Chains A and B, each alone.
Chain A
Amino acid sequence: MPLREDSSVPEQLVFAMEVTLNGLMAGVLYALVALGFVLIYKASGIFNYAQGVMALFAAMTLVGIMNGQVPFAHLINAIFGGHVTHFGWTVPSFVAIVLTIGVMVLLAWMVQHFVMRHLVGQEPIILFMATIGLAYLLEGVADLMWGSEIKTLDVGLPQGINLWIDETTFQIFDYGFFIDNLDIVATIIAALLVAGLVAFAQYTKQGRAMRAVADDHQAALSVGISLSFIWVLVWSVAGFVALVAGIMWGTKSGVQFSLSLIALKALPVLMLGGFTSIPGAIVGGLIIGVGEKLFEFLIGPMVGGATENWFAYVLALLFLVFRPQGLFGEKIIERV
């Protein structure tokens, strides 16, 4: 929609506002992935490289269950020579989500019992390497289980331009903002999720135990907290957050393997927000989201565009130099 010549608000400013809003929405998704990282890092000191792949795996499992896909169909067919790929039923999205949560909890249990339990007390770099291995393993398993083709995911979330915002902004600025309904829903869900997580951490027995484990393992043991239970719990919660992130991204751009790459965008988000801070993950996500959109809009044309690919990393680099603990992270002071 073209701007009227006599509009009272400068054209650039109106565009910038729309870009900012869209950036905020994109930032919510970054924040969701970063949140999963922070949860695990706080509770166990593990930097979980597999968080992005977990989002992919969750989304693929959800689609697979909804479409009634037979898990490991290729494998089964290769061994037994059959041609089954689908059970022939579809599962309502709500039931499929509940089942997927179950799968993520099972995954959390397996990660704890087959991998992390044997690495207790190891150097952080070793735990990090283990999660890299986990990421590739999980990616392979996801491929084997559900196939590698791009799938559409529709759990019934509203999509498309929000007409109300379009009309309202048109009346004010004579220019209708294009805001996707899905982005609005994603924002609301993310806000609810964060509120839920905070309430869980502050007011429930398990939440208290989780914070206790994050602070001091020995002390946690001495008040009767089972570390392995808490770690399964934390990985489950991270799996749930991954599922939510996977649903959002999957609905937006299809369930495909490039989804696991969004995890890389979470890295600069974490460097900005601080690795140990939940508010940091959210604010960091929003700053990166808005920052890269605005930067592309304002500076992009001068440098030939495509700044979204590197803006976040450069910003993170600046933070590493001038404020390594991030905006909300704990400052590490070594006393000698």
Chain B
Amino acid sequence: MKDMDDSSVTEDGRTIGGVVMEMKNITLRFGGVVAIKDISFDIREGEIRAIIGPNGAGKSSMLNVISGFYVPQEGDVWFRGSKRPAMRPYEVARQGIARTFQNIALFDGMSVLDNVMTGRLNYMKTNIFQQALWRGRAEAEETENREVVERIIDFLEIQAIRKTPVARLPYGLKKRVELARALAAEPKLLLLDEPMAGMNVEEKEDMSRFILDANDEFGTTIALIEHDMGVVMDLSDRVVVMDYGKKIGDGTPDEVRNNQAVIDAYLGVSHD
């Protein structure tokens, strides 16, 4: 068992730090439907945290609560040691939480490069008049941001399609560009909503490698939702299991794999 209060080192030598994000007793309702029921869990610095569960378990809702798209009726979200007040999604993003979407949300009219550059918007401090008139400062800033973006583009091996409008890209590459945009924000927490949905084996392997490398090289804390159990067990340090809006398991991949409630949820259980 890992010690949850101090930083620890994983088998492959990565350092897992203290708690970055803590969800406390989150309940989310849509009218009469309870999407999330009294769930608490935490995400620690530098780890890959997976949220799994059968269809309709409330995983995406949970991710949307973290990223501010949904506001829970009950419960608190603690981020980097302080309780987060009710925030709009763009404010959450400015705090350093980046995300990707289950059904890719890219800027179709822009090139790959421009898409990834939007990830840097919050790092651009010069105002519109400086950008129009006082080129020096604004140019330096543009160059800085451009360097970060080019590094990410290299890292994700999408140099060849830098200037291509994203609307023309195949599905797998779109997913990768979306990841690039999120990484460009140098997030303190990265949320991935089914990063491998609809991919073939090869694409899944690529994506897994990028996720692991991002975590390893940039130390990015990642929370992800994924259906492919093999992938989840390989990637993640800890797993939260949800079913019908409730948390039924939480722990290392090995622990949840042997958790009876989890096995029942996935394989079904007779109710006689």
Chain A interface (Cβ within 8 Å of chain B)? Answer: 199-200, 203-206, 208-209, 211-212, 214-216, 218-227
Contacts and interface: CB of A to CB of B under 8 A. Distances in A.
B101 A222 contact: yes
B154 interface: no
B107 A211 contact: yes
B119 interface: yes
B128 A219 contact: no
Contacts of B105: 216, 218-219, 222
B39 to A, nearest CB: 22
Contacts of B91: 224
B55 interface: no
A147 B67 CA distance: 50
Interface residues of B, number: 31
Contacts of B67: 222
Interface string B90-111: 1101100011010001111110
A250 B3 CA distance: 75
Contact of B128 (A205, A216, A218, A221): A205
Contact of A224 (B94, B114, B128, B132): B94
A208 B88 contact: no
Given A205-B126, A223-B121, 20 more contacts: A200-B132, A204-B128, A205-B121, A205-B124, A208-B118, A211-B114, A212-B110, A212-B121, A215-B106, A215-B107, A215-B110, A216-B107, A218-B69, A219-B105, A221-B90, A222-B89, A223-B98, A223-B181, A225-B118, A226-B90
Interface of B: 67, 69, 88-91, 93-94, 98-99, 101, 105-110, 114, 117-119, 121-122, 124, 126, 128, 131-132, 181-182, 185
A223 B106 contact: no
A40 to B, nearest CB: 16
B131 A204 contact: yes
A222 B94 CA distance: 9
A105 B211 CA distance: 44
A219 B107 contact: yes
A219 to B, nearest CB: 4
Nearest to A215: B107
Given A215-B109, A216-B105, A223-B118, A206 B128 contact: yes
Contacts of A221: 69, 88-90, 93
28 contacts: A199-B132, A200-B128, A204-B128, A205-B121, A206-B128, A208-B114, A208-B117, A211-B109, A211-B114, A212-B110, A214-B109, A215-B106, A215-B109, A216-B105, A216-B106, A216-B108, A218-B69, A218-B101, A218-B105, A219-B101, A219-B106, A222-B67, A222-B105, A222-B182, A224-B93, A225-B90, A225-B121, A227-B90
